[in-house]
């Protein structure tokens, strides 16, 4: 989950800055703060919480 969000942050950042389609670029720009916040939350979780979330 951590790696997925890290990759998502990188991809959305790239698209928000260099995207060729204005609609996709706008979506990436507006969604990026949410993904970054989720990534921060995940990074703050302990391994036991991450393990219990995988069961969901």
Looking at the predicted structure, is the pLDDT value of residue 51 above 60? Answer: no
DSSP-derived letter for residue 43 is H
Stretch (H or E) spanning 32 = helix 22-44
Q: What is the pLDDT of residue 55?
A: 54
Average pLDDT over residues 10-35: 97
- The domain total for the chain is 1
Band of pLDDT at residue 10, cut at 50, 70 and 90:
very high
* Predicted TM-score (pTM) above 0.75: no
If we measure between CA atoms, which residue out of 7, 14, 5 comes closest to residue 35?
A: 5
Domain that holds residue 34: 2-54
């Amino acid at each position: 989950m951590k790696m997925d969000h890290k990759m998502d942050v990188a991809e959305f950042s790239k698209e928000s800055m260099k995207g060729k389609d204005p609609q996709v670029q706008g979506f990436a720009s507006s969604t990026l703060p949410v993904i970054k916040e989720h990534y921060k939350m995940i990074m703050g979780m302990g391994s036991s919480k991450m393990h219990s979330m995988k069961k969901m």
